[in-house]
Amino acid sequence: MKRSFIIGLVMLLIVTGCTQKTFIESGQCGKNARWQVDNDGTLRISGTGLITKEFLVMADEYDRLNSVIKRLVIEEGITGISEEASFSNIEHLEEIILPDTFEGKIGIDFSGDPYLRHIRIGKSMKQTTSEYMEDCEHLETIENASDYEIPLRTDQGKRTWYVDNKKTKKCPPHKTAHAVGNIFHLTYDFNGGQIINEPDTHQYGQDTPVNQPFKEGSHFMGWYGYYEDYDMTLSFFDTISGFWGQDFHLKAMYADYKLEAIDGGFRVVMANTKDFKAYEEMIVFRYADNEAMKKPQWGNLVAPMGKGKVTGLKKGKTYYVEICALDYEWWSDADPEDDVKYDEKFHGKQSITIN
């Protein structure tokens, strides 16, 4: 009896192991190539010949897989990427492994990955373009298994590359290059707020946390600084992104706004909109009938930038309001109403009860 039970249990484990799904999704990506996303977030491509699929171009596929895929592994047998194929929509890649059989050009498909930290280039690679590391500010290592020198981007002096502890601008064959982000200085204007301990440097490729100062009766909207390379003003709320590589003088910006009761609703009025216009920023608001701001409604511009009005609300009900600063160019060319649900952009919560 005991022996039969053990045999049955072993058979059950075998069947369970054989039928257990080890990948999230799979499909064809070339005449003789297939792809699958493993449970650990690896996009694995196997087979032979060229990859022809443009990954995550369909909205439903993007929604399902974009935040899941962290690693791209192209296995031996794949020789390159066709012109119609692309990986550029995969936005959270941390590692890319290319096989020794990969002969294709390494170009723009391997750029614009802000999370990318490591890339392995196989021995058959014959050509790269300067774009293949563009906007990859967190890139730390490039493993070059090929017989060719690999050019290394310094991002206009924002990072330095080393091979065998020596500075270099090219990675020799069969070597691994390591990147170190350069250090930049930070100074502050607290703009009437409390003086607090802030970091005095930040490093390219590393996100730098910053604190939020307090000013009585006002709402902190971010640290504002001018970025020379892009000729534009940037704002940081609680983190300076590793993408920004220069010295910054940061000014604390606050919004002084209030809610005024009107017939059947309220108006959002801000006293210092001119301060933000100087930085080409528009102040918008959203509102909800719950403090958690679930399913918020778009409120448009605060007054006097706009009307700032919301009417037709239920009497006796309490509504909550938050504000957000938007760059004027974004306000003009995009649809800011699409961003109303993103909590990290809205601050300064106030409430009002409709009488």
Three-state SS annotation for 39-61: CCCEEEEEECEEECCECCCCHHH
Where is the domain boundary, 219, 254, 289?
Answer: 254
Structural domain range at position 41? 20-181
Q: Is the pLDDT of residue 330 over 80?
A: no
Nearest to 285 by CA among 333, 340, 327: 340
Rounded to the nearest integer, the mean pLDDT of the chain is 88
Q: Are 89 and 55 in contact (CB under 8 A)?
A: yes
- β-strand pairing of 170-171 with 175-181: unpaired
Report pTM: 0.77
In the chain, pLDDT over 90 holds for what percent of residues?
67
Instruction: Identify whether 317 is part of a domain.
Output: yes
Mean pLDDT calculated for residue range 107-122: 82
Domain count, the chain: 3
pLDDT at 83: 85
Return all residues near 237 (Cβ < 8 A) that are at least 6 apart: 212, 221, 222, 223, 344, 347
* CATH of residue 308: 2.60.40.10
Instruction: Identify whether 159 is part of a domain.
Output: yes
Q: Is the pLDDT of residue 74 over 90?
A: yes
Residue 54's pLDDT band, with cuts at 50, 70 and 90, is: very high
Q: Is the pLDDT of residue 7 over 80?
A: no
- β-strand pairing of 150-151 with 141-144: unpaired
Instruction: Identify whether 321 is part of a domain.
Output: yes
pLDDT at 339: 73
pLDDT at 5: 45
pLDDT at 13: 44
Q: Is the pLDDT of residue 247 over 80?
A: yes
* CATH of residue 247: 2.60.40
Mean pLDDT calculated for residue range 215-236: 91
Rg (CA), the chain: 26
Looking at the fold, whether 36 and 170 belong to one and the same domain comes out as: yes
pLDDT at 117: 92
Looking at the fold, whether 46 and 144 belong to one and the same domain comes out as: yes
Mean pLDDT calculated for residue range 144-154: 90
* CATH of residue 113: 3.80.10
Q: Is the pLDDT of residue 123 over 50?
A: yes
Looking at the fold, whether 74 and 148 belong to one and the same domain comes out as: yes
Looking at the fold, whether 26 and 174 belong to one and the same domain comes out as: yes
Instruction: Identify whether 11 is part of a domain.
Output: no
Mean pLDDT calculated for residue range 172-194: 96
